[in-house]
Structure 1
């Protein structure tokens, strides 16, 4: 199975996200990750969609997205030509005895402790998926209470711009 990362420029109005998700649902395709935000143009949003499948299924996804009226442009973001990032918030059980260890691990990953409670620490980290996975694995023995991840977002490397 191949991974497909698409940067999709769409009209910024209600119902667009529902139509895109519905397209995947109707065709039986799964969305591994989806992040959406308005661009510098308030009439346009950018969706970063990650899906997996064989070449035929991934090609169908692109063709079906192109048929949607609200889709302005689709650009594939291959890993060798793009920069990917993700944000995670991780709430870890913390005691007086292990706070220093958790803080040390957090510092190694250049993550930030953004909330301190009597029995937990909340950590913010951005990076590629493998970096987030590695931090989560190292924190697991302490007891992870909750994890929230934004999903992948990406941009082409270099001077090229994706415009509508």
Structure 2
């Protein structure tokens, strides 16, 4: 108790609301960053994350405007709301960055990822792998007498679920592209 016998943050009607306004809950955010397509830009963006100890869960980069020499970097990261705001502000200050969008908070968006999974197996395991691939709408893109390579597209959660089911059937190798995302139009 304070000398005035007022508990800290005891009411939201107080002129001195002393309750902390920050959150310590980590959230997953997808950021779309439009940048100049020039040498060193990606290194500067990644340097911002590594220099401050922020983690990148997924990263994809591709040129999206050949004539305008613009690339789009899609970054999936996790952090408290304050950390996410700090990341967006710092990204916006990098000179070759044109735009920073937080697709997680700006409204509905579409996210997809592509993965290739090599599954080795014989007999019943091979048949079961094909059944599961059909359920998940995964395509067989390569086949040998001892293994299959599946291609699957979808959310990261879908790919994780497919990989988890393939592990006991002989999952040997996984290659993932990382998340790509676009905001959806309002109806």
TM-score, normalised relative to structure 2 = 0.81
Between 111-120 and 68-77, report the one with greater CA deviation.
111-120
User: Residue in 2 aligned with 1:21?
Assistant: 46
User: Residue in 2 aligned with 1:74?
Assistant: 100
Unaligned runs of 5+ in 2: 1-25
User: Residue in 1 aligned with 2:166?
Assistant: 139
1:50 alignment partner, one of 65, 76, 83:
76
SS of 2:56's equivalent? coil
User: Residue in 1 aligned with 2:157?
Assistant: 130
SS of 1:78's equivalent? coil
1:5 alignment partner, one of 11, 30, 35:
30
Unaligned runs of 5+ in 1: none
2:58 alignment partner, one of 29, 33, 36:
33
User: Residue in 1 aligned with 2:115?
Assistant: 88
User: Residue in 2 aligned with 1:61?
Assistant: 87
Relative to its length, the structure with more helix (as a share) is 1
SS of 1:95's equivalent? coil
Is the 8 Å Cα contact of residues 119 and 172 (structure 2) preserved in structure 1? yes
- CA RMSD of superposed structures (Å): 1.6
SS of 1:39's equivalent? strand
Is the 8 Å Cα contact of residues 126 and 169 (structure 2) preserved in structure 1? no
Mapping 1:100-115, distance limit 5 Å: 100-115=127-142
How many residue pairs align between the two structures?
Answer: 160
